[in-house]
Chains A and B, each alone.
Chain A
């Protein structure tokens, strides 16, 4: 305790140095607290928006080397994301889990809209079963006009307000519920696909940014057509006995044996591709089983919502392991990958911020270290006297460490208090996004920062670590002071 008492008293005696170090620490903690709170707010806003409105907590996607956003944007590839061949297995696995609240299959892609031959605009589309979609995202979609599609309705779309406005800019007569429009897309295997659909209603996404607010919901079969997958609108293919016999006895390898004779590996690859192509053309799952077995519709995404309080990272890990067992090359990813650039940018900004803090921390530690060394050198005789009258080295070491810790506590409390006030004020006033990038990052036009307990703890731990790091060398200097110094007088 005497070390603490001396440390406390020394801080008071060396007020200027204490104030200087305290201000550096206080400023550091303030910047860390504010910065991390802002990033936490943006990230948690993004997380809330995407998890509750677009991606769920986790998603399984069809086989792809890179992560894919829920808008179907695959990093490093222009190709349409393939479907999940064995989606049923995933659904069964997830249904057996106690930590899974619900799942939703989804298709995603881009299409153009037109009336007659006039193209009116284009946008992102989700192919969904509308009831399932509304169950999975109950709070994110509001019907503004028209009606929700019924089960037996023909091809339909639910246009978002911005998309409707876009179409109406060029349309000769207003597009509205009941209007038939043409959707066009360029599919991988099927070339240009054109489908006529009926506008069933106009929707609004309650949590969105500029990109997400324009999404159009399309019936799943139309979306399959547009993406080049087999449509199941008319059910499974009805084959005559002869056709069925042919299909069941069909050996795709035999088609290309002549072409690839003498090259076993290539022949195998070719036959696999052929089977795959046939599979996409005939139905959405395995080619050889599609006719005889239950026909499984093609879906590119399987969104997963975990139960409140359950660990999504644990489920991610388990689901990834399960996907490896299936070995189709499907990808399991979290909401950040599903959200894409915006969320990754926020995470990157946090990393960059932490990196910047680490660099600044080194500079600050050097400054603090210098000030503390000067302080120790000024107390040469005092420390020498302590050693002479019987203070062991640990008393001296503790004294320096206590000084730093007290400073960190006081400066930390001051920095956190100021940060808290600033955050409360900013929370009331809000920070307006200066451009679309920030609007996407903020998850809206105005960011109202929240007080983040995690940011406060992280900031304090940073400062404490910096303080202790800065006191390392001064402590060594202090421990080197021999008691004989006391005899030399001051």
Chain B
């Protein structure tokens, strides 16, 4: 059994739309193991992105505890959260979010240059590692192109390479195939799986595509801000069909089932 790298305990997230309170997440508890290939599924508005935001330390819960890579995120200040994101988490965005003014190589290398410590490593080593990643995502011949000169699938490949360049423990991908055709989406998913297996990085991706959901080892289904299914491929699962509105501590039960 692998270690738990992410843990959410009784997490609640409330947004305010003008004066109206919207429960984006309601009493969510779950554990994710290191090296897992996890999908978070559910319809729009179910809370997929909110969970990723909390795990990615770009947002804080209204209540409950989020522990990422051994650190309770609500205890960290902005600089510490930034450092945690920088060192431990890679991001793949639905809209790729590459820096338009940098070429592919520079985009991939960017996280390495963002702080003096990683930027001060040997330039040759850095270059070798960046080239290796670009080659692995199949864009060796496009290294000096700008993002605008690439297709959507190619841009997402660059984003994957960028997400991995810091050798993070976790990569979060928010609907990484949403803006791609199905064939490209599949190839991106295969690439993510390949990276997951090659580097042992934990991949967590959100999607509402049922075919892609099933590619994951660990499937978490959401509806209206609650977990309705937390299932691992080895068969252990907890049925959350009673949700929404169920008061049971779903995360705790589901996690236990998933750990067996």
List residues of chain A with CB under 8 Å of any chain B CB.
Answer: 1-2, 5-6, 9-10, 12-13, 381-382, 384-393, 395, 482-484, 486-487, 489-490
Of chain A, the residue at the smallest CB distance from B179 is A489
In the assembled complex, the Cα of A480 lies from the Cα of B236 at a distance in Å of: 44
Please pick, from B56, B99, B174, the residue contacting A6 in the complex, using a CB distance under 8 A. B99
In the assembled complex, the Cα of A385 lies from the Cα of B159 at a distance in Å of: 11
A487 touches B101 (CB 8 A): no
Taking CB atoms, residues of chain B closer than 8 Å to A484 are 53, 58-59
In the assembled complex, the Cα of A380 lies from the Cα of B15 at a distance in Å of: 21
A487 touches B93 (CB 8 A): yes
A490 touches B82 (CB 8 A): no
B58 touches A390 (CB 8 A): no
Check if B111 is an interface residue, CB within 8 A of chain A: yes
Q: Take A388-B91, A390-B166 as given contacts and tell me if A13 and B97 are in contact as well, using a CB distance cutoff of 8 Å.
A: no
Taken residue by residue from 156 to 179, chain B's Cβ proximity to chain A (1 for < 8 Å, 0 otherwise) reads as 000000100010000000100000
Taking CB atoms, residues of chain B closer than 8 Å to A490 are 95, 97
Q: Take A2-B110, A486-B58 as given contacts and tell me if A393 and B115 are in contact as well, using a CB distance cutoff of 8 Å.
A: no
Of chain B, the residue at the smallest CB distance from A381 is B97
In the assembled complex, the Cα of A239 lies from the Cα of B166 at a distance in Å of: 107
Of chain B, the residue at the smallest CB distance from A395 is B114
In the assembled complex, the Cα of A12 lies from the Cα of B52 at a distance in Å of: 34
Of chain A, the residue at the smallest CB distance from B59 is A484
Taking CB atoms, residues of chain A closer than 8 Å to B101 are 6, 9-10, 12-13
In the assembled complex, the Cα of A373 lies from the Cα of B233 at a distance in Å of: 49
Taking CB atoms, residues of chain A closer than 8 Å to B111 are 389-390
Q: Which residues of B in the span 130-159 have a Cβ within 8 Å of any Cβ on A?
A: none
Taken residue by residue from 88 to 122, chain B's Cβ proximity to chain A (1 for < 8 Å, 0 otherwise) reads as 00110111010111100010001101110001000
A390 touches B93 (CB 8 A): no
A381 touches B99 (CB 8 A): no
B49 touches A487 (CB 8 A): yes
Please pick, from A9, A381, A393, the residue contacting B95 in the complex, using a CB distance under 8 A. A381
Taking CB atoms, residues of chain B closer than 8 Å to A487 are 49, 52-53, 56, 58, 93, 174
A489 touches B94 (CB 8 A): yes
Could you name 25 residue pairs across A and B whose Cβ atoms are closer than 8 Å? A6-B101, A13-B101, A386-B99, A387-B58, A387-B82, A388-B56, A388-B58, A388-B85, A388-B97, A389-B85, A389-B90, A389-B110, A389-B114, A392-B82, A392-B115, A482-B58, A483-B56, A483-B85, A484-B58, A486-B58, A486-B93, A487-B56, A487-B174, A489-B94, A489-B95
* Residue in B87, B97, B100 with the greatest tally of chain A CB atoms within 10 Å: B97
Taking CB atoms, residues of chain B closer than 8 Å to A382 are 97, 99-100
- Smallest CB-CB A-B distances: 7 pairs: A390-B86, A9-B101, A489-B95, A483-B58, A2-B113, A385-B97, A484-B58
In the assembled complex, the Cα of A109 lies from the Cα of B98 at a distance in Å of: 80
B79 touches A13 (CB 8 A): no
